Amino acid sequence: MPGSAERGRPARVVVLVSGSGTNLQALLDAQGTVLESGGRPQGFEVVAVGADRDGIAGLERARRSGVPTFVCRVGEHPSRGEWDRTLTEAVAAHQPDLVVSAGFMKIVGKEFLARFGGRFINTHPALLPSFPGANAVRDALAYGVRVTGCTVHFVDDGVDTGPIIAQGVVEVREEDRADQGAALHERIKEVERVLLVDVVGRLARHGYRIEGRKVMIP
């Protein structure tokens, strides 16, 4: 993807959510106001927010910011493939340069990856390749790690296996080891929000290329 200068406009970003949407909020807060030049200080603009369910804080955050939303529920489609097709079309309608999975708890399908592969990023609450999947914080605690964190990566056809863009480190405290990981997850999310904004901003402003497993941001 080219950077801001070549593109001549902010990168269009569609964010997918399933829950509280605090990472989405960080992106909404960071995108900043429109400059006189028509640009945005961070080089990106959240143009739509999609979800796989209704009634979540993430959608409310988008609406409060005046960002268009859409909901695409698996259960309302005859098959997972049909759902994937509808989701792909719903996202494509907003012509994104980047798509961000920010707590979106669904695995997308072939059609979605064919359309958005190489410009679809995910934020994950563990230091990949350790602890992929939906219960990363709990799994890391159960394993007994002393250090964990978060990973922002491109999405490929595996579960949390795509090229890594950036990682943030969080120490596990003694008191974390006695609970199910809620406090630790909150500390990870503090780091994650800053990391995600930094990554989306850098990708948008500088552009990037992916060489094998390496992501190069000039």
What are the catalytic residues? 124
Among 21, 43, 168, 201, binds ligand GAR (CB under 6 A): 21
Query: Would you count residue 149 as binding ligand GAR (CB under 6 A)?
Result: no
Q: Residue 105 CB, nearest distance to ligand GAR (Å)?
A: 6
CB of 208 to ligand GAR, least distance (A): 21
Instruction: Please tell me the distance from the alpha carbon of residue 74 to that of residue 79, in angstroms, as a whole number.
Output: 8
Q: Could you tell me if 143 and 172 are in contact, meaning their C-beta atoms sit under 8 angstroms apart? A: no
- Binding residues for ligand GAR restricted to 83-102, rule: CB under 6 A: 102
| Phi-psi domain of 137 (left: phi exceeds 0; alpha: psi -120 through 50; beta: other) | alpha
**Residue 2 or 179 having the CB closest to ligand GAR:** 179
Window of 76-84, 118-126, 140-148, 174-182 that interacts with ligand GAR by CB under 6 A: 118-126
Choice from 13, 15, 23, 131 touching ligand GAR (CB under 6 A):
23
Question: 43, 103, 149, 181: which one contacts ligand GAR (CB under 6 A)?
Answer: 103
Q: In what order do the strands lie in the sheet with 44-51?
A: 69-71, 44-51, 11-17, 98-101, 120-124, 147-154, 164-171, 214-216, 209-211
User: Residue 202: CA atoms inside 13 Å, Cβ hemisphere, count?
Assistant: 15
- 45 strand-pairing partners: 12
Residue 123, interface with ligand GAR (CB under 6 A)?
A: yes
